[in-house]
């Protein structure tokens, strides 16, 4: 079922409660009662079209309007990606750490194995932090600079220098699959840890890991299939523009 602007926002959550995370990333909080998606977006000054595309790609994995998503300003796209990073570091990772800590304290008799799991996740956390930091400090500012030059009637020559030192292809080549390691982590819990004392806690942790993995997949898809081609196209037009004025 495709989510449209006239549907009640409450029904979006009923349809798929994972959308709550998406709502929060757009700054939308509960308390909207019976209001439609369009009215809630208006209330929070959120671009309803962009919200609908993001929420629909999140709910239905087959729905991915690459071309349409590429029509939105880079600022909207990078803002959403940035909010997603913040959510990982402020909510999802601490929640997983908390559950692992609880498991260390209560779940297993063979503590050494669960301590290894803790170390594995700590390393993962650092890797995720490096990954998102690089995007925030290098990639997002680069994409915004490219869009600015693309939209300008007479782009500054400095953009050529910038494109000599970096390009969106460099990002694509170095962009690692950060969700892959989560699979290994889940597998350690599912296959290699001894029977837990507290299965509920163990299931909860697995659920959070599956959830983060899926979310990261969705996130990378926007980076690689929306942001990268959009910027590549702009780089091409900028380069052609300068070549013509020579």
The residue sitting closest to Fe ion, measured at its beta carbon, is: 135
Rounded CA separation 174/38 (Å): 38
Rounded CA separation 32/12 (Å): 12
Does 218 contact Fe ion by CB under 5 A? Answer: no
Does 215 contact Fe ion by CB under 5 A? Answer: no
Minimum separation from the CB atom of position 24 to Fe ion (A): 17
Closest by Cα among 209, 214, 164, 169 to 186: 209
Residue 163 DSSP one-character state: H
Rounded CA separation 227/140 (Å): 10
The span of 33-41, 44-52, 144-152, 219-227 binding Fe ion (CB under 5 A) equals 219-227
Closest by Cα among 173, 168, 203, 178 to 70: 168
Minimum separation from the CB atom of position 212 to Fe ion (A): 13
Does 135 contact Fe ion by CB under 5 A? Answer: yes
The span of 70-78, 109-117, 120-128, 223-231 binding Fe ion (CB under 5 A) equals 223-231
Minimum separation from the CB atom of position 216 to Fe ion (A): 8
Residue 36 backbone dihedrals phi, psi, to 5 degrees:
-80, 165
Q: Find the binding residues for Fe ion in span 70-129 (CB under 5 A).
A: none
Minimum separation from the CB atom of position 224 to Fe ion (A): 8
Specify the residue, 79 or 102, whose C-beta has the smaller distance to Fe ion. Answer: 79
Q: Are the C-beta atoms of residues 160 and 242 closer than 8 Å to each other?
A: yes
Does 147 contact Fe ion by CB under 5 A? Answer: no
Which residues of this chain interact with Fe ion, rule CB under 5 A? 135, 223
């Amino acid at each position: 079922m495709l989510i449209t602007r006239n549907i009640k926002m409450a029904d979006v959550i009923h349809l798929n409660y994972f959308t709550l995370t998406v709502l929060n990333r757009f700054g939308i909080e509960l308390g909207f009662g019976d209001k439609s998606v369009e009215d809630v977006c208006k209330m929070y000054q959120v671009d309803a079209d962009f919200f609908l595309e993001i929420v629909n790609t999140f709910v239905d994995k087959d729905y991915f309007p690459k071309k349409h998503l590429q029509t939105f300003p880079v600022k909207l796209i990078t803002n959403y990606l940035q909010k997603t990073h913040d959510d990982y570091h402020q909510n999802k990772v601490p929640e997983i750490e908390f559950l692992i800590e609880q498991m260390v304290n209560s779940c297993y008799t063979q503590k050494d194995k669960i301590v290894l799991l803790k170390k594995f996740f700590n390393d993962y956390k650092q890797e995720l932090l490096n990954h998102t930091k690089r995007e925030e400090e290098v990639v997002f500012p680069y994409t915004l600079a490219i869009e600015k030059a693309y939209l300008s009637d007479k782009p500054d020559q400095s953009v050529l220098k910038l494109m000599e030192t970096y390009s969106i292809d460099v990002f694509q080549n170095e962009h690692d699959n950060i969700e892959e390691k989560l699979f290994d982590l889940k597998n350690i819990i599912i296959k290699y840890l001894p029977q837990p004392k507290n299965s509920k806690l163990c299931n909860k942790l697995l659920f959070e890991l599956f959830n983060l993995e899926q979310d990261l997949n969705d996130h990378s898809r926007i980076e690689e299939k929306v942001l990268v081609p959009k910027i590549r196209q702009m780089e091409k037009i900028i380069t052609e523009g300068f070549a013509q004025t020579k």
